[in-house]
Structure 1
């Protein structure tokens, strides 16, 4: 690893001052945040101007699937910039064509046409637009425990509280409950019962909304921000069957779960289900240049064979972003990144997190696969009362804030959402780095334990 540069607090202060004067941050009350000034990053780590290095167990926002500053991807971006830095989307450009080909080689089934966007929210936005035009129907069904992006349609099909302030555009968005045995809305005793009752609930929702009014069902294959809840066996296949029976387009959102995160190129491979549309972003090029997209089935592509698709983006398939995607996919194939993510999940992260759960009364459940894990933190294991209330703010959120602060104190940058911490390091994280992260979590969980009924 490259040695840290000499600390430069003065430079860090200047970066922070400019940020506070001019940058408007996402999802934040601007005067209540204190962004860390980042001086650099490499591999699984980043560092600040004071000389503090952090192991990134958040992978940025779960997008640095090959870590920071991979030399082959950086070189590919530089080479593309020197050759053709930008070009309009209506032309055939080598980097764009090659990125589409490599992605289509890895998507399941006949998802062989690729529409490029600038990120995941736009991918969801356009996938829903395709489904509505393809079917001529207005409604979209989505899960309460979900996040699909911040644009108008994407945020309204989202299930988490960030939707609430944006519900003015919710026409046609219908939410339903998906399976989650640990906090079952169906009072199920086991996974099989949870699956059956969840599918019955979806069938009922379709029936009462009117099958002929529903364009699409959209699900995260494995919900990410909402808690990393792998669906029980048979659930996604059951949703596929319901959609087929009623002529509904099935959209799987793989923005976070895709490109190796779960130990497969796409998480849907774990469940042997092929959607009609698949959205992606984040890990497609490790976030090095903004890129997302929709992989489109033959039937939906045929709808637009002689009928114009009513959508487009100035930077669709931007050459720099696509060159980064080509290099990232090639690096992942050459280095066995997807297989490594599966192994690190099976041999280090999964066993290590379950061992932490045995020692810490604040851990209610461990779930995940590959480099995609969540710890559900609770006050009481018996009642499963969350460590903090749903959508907690201020003092209510103090236990989670203290836990996160302890992680950072121990050199770990955590992904914390509500009463959960997610262990989502780069997919090529080394065994030693993964163990370092587990040790830091172990120390920080002692702080969470202080807020349990066992304390």
Structure 2
């Protein structure tokens, strides 16, 4: 038998998402613990991306691993039509920390499926069909979720599901509304959204779907009052509000759920990723009593073979207990305020390529430019090939220094596990600081 490496076998048989197969060389990960992972060469990296912003409690957390073992010994799998103690307990614990009166959980196996079902729930409950979603957004790769997505990953899947309309959310640094202040950006973004509602027909709009803090597309923290303003528009026109918290829920921005920072209660809330750090795939939708009540006497027309999977729910329940015991959201908020924000302020002052830093909790973006006055992006929007070289070089410089961040377009985004040691956090920020010397080479203004 021919002895082949994992790398060779992988490249022969595995098809990767979002990638030109002949142009990628995936790192073979052989192990990890906490905020670090190791490849097959023995190189260790500080995980400043929490993998895909999902390993909120890091890798190989002993309590989560033990939860998998305990449940595997009792019951590995069962039909979603059956009740189990771990599914009930996971739902109870999640609902206990949910905003407002959201008290019922429909389990899925990931975030895209959660968004897909939230859209279906909103349409069925309201009797309307249109969904409004932001241009700067990513909601998943299934048919409805990718149609709702505003960024370029939507394009190849078009035409998508009918009835989705996009709008501009607030983004003061690159304001679509020529705003000069956060208050102006908030007010003009809300005025724009109301115009879209009116142009599309208020009685046709089932829901507004948004990320309370925009994730992949920029770590865009909304101006104070914006989410409350969207909630008010929804109430005025009888529209449901769907909060996509797949990336920003479960402590990522220093709150159990991001909407908590602005005391806004949506009608539906989607989650995944941080609910159990991806140890076993899990997602879900939190429903208001009114929406759940719509299906009290007739069947909801949707379901998944692995909904409420026992292994996944066992880890989710234990994960919530870890969050409670260690006060993980408060820890993320404190590290963001006392470690990350001051360090990024110094980095911004030191590097002419840094146009803006922004974030909350342990979720931050460094926006890179070639000229601060014009705010010209370090690479063009949706750049690929040679045009993307500057960001490719910046990412490589981070990795050479033992740090693995998340990058998108012209941004370095920082999302380390919420359990990261303060010393590791400082070490990683120092490495990013050094790597940005590469971006400075492209500054022209």
Q: What TM-score do you get using the length of structure 2 for normalisation?
A: 0.99
Match of 1:266 among 257, 264, 289: 257
Per the alignment, residue 302 of structure 1 pairs with: 293
Equivalent residue, structure 1, for 2:66: 75
How many Å separate the matches in 2 of 1:292 and 1:253?
Answer: 11
Moved more, 164-173 or 436-445: 164-173
Q: How many residues align?
A: 444
Q: Which residue is 1:389 aligned to?
A: 380
Residues in 1 aligned to 2:319 and 2:32: alpha-carbon distance in whole angstroms = 17
- Of 51, 55, 64, which aligns to 1:64? 55
Aligned mate of 1:365, from 346, 356, 367: 356
Q: What secondary structure does 1:73 align onto?
A: helix
Structure 1 segment 4-15 matched on structure 2, within 5 A: 14-15=5-6
> Of residues 142, 152, 164 in structure 1, which corresponds to 2:155?
164
Unaligned residue ranges in structure 1 (runs of 5+): 1-9
- Which of 176, 180, 194 pairs up with 2:185? 194
Q: 2:331 aligns with which of 317, 320, 340?
A: 340
Query: Which residue, 266, 277, 283 being the options, matches 2:274?
Result: 283
SS of match in other structure, 2:352: coil
* 2:179 aligned counterpart, secondary structure: coil
Query: TM (normalized to structure 1)?
Result: 0.96
Tell me which residue corresponds to 2:122.
Answer: 131
Residue among 98, 112, 122 paired with 1:121: 112
State whether structure 2 residue 311 is matched by structure 1 residue 320.
yes
> Residue 4 of structure 1 corresponds to which residue in structure 2?
none
Q: Give the Cα–Cα distance (whole angstroms) in 1 for the partners of residues 254 and 117 of structure 2.
A: 27
- Give 1:174 deviation, angstroms: 0.2
Question: 2:101 aligns to what?
Answer: 110
1:375-406 per-position Cα deviation (integer Å, ceiling 9, x unaligned): 00001111100000000001100000000000
* Matched position secondary structure for 2:90: helix
CA distance in 2, matches of 1:339, 1:270: 12
Provide Cα deviations, 1:276-329, integer angstroms capped at 9, x if missing partner. Answer: 000000000011000000000011111111121110000000000000101111
1:236 maps to 2:224: no
> CA separation in 1, counterparts of 2:329 and 2:186?
28
Which of 427, 433, 441 is 1:442 aligned to?
433
| Structure 1 position 412 matched with structure 2 position 403 | yes
Shift, 1:170, TM fit = 3.7
**Offset from partner CA, 1:85-140 (integer Å, 9 cap, x none):** 11111111001000000000000111000000000000000000000000111110
Take 1:37 and 1:157, find their aligned partners in 2: how far apart are those partners? 33
Counterparts of 1:48-59 in structure 2, within 5 Å, are 48-59=39-50
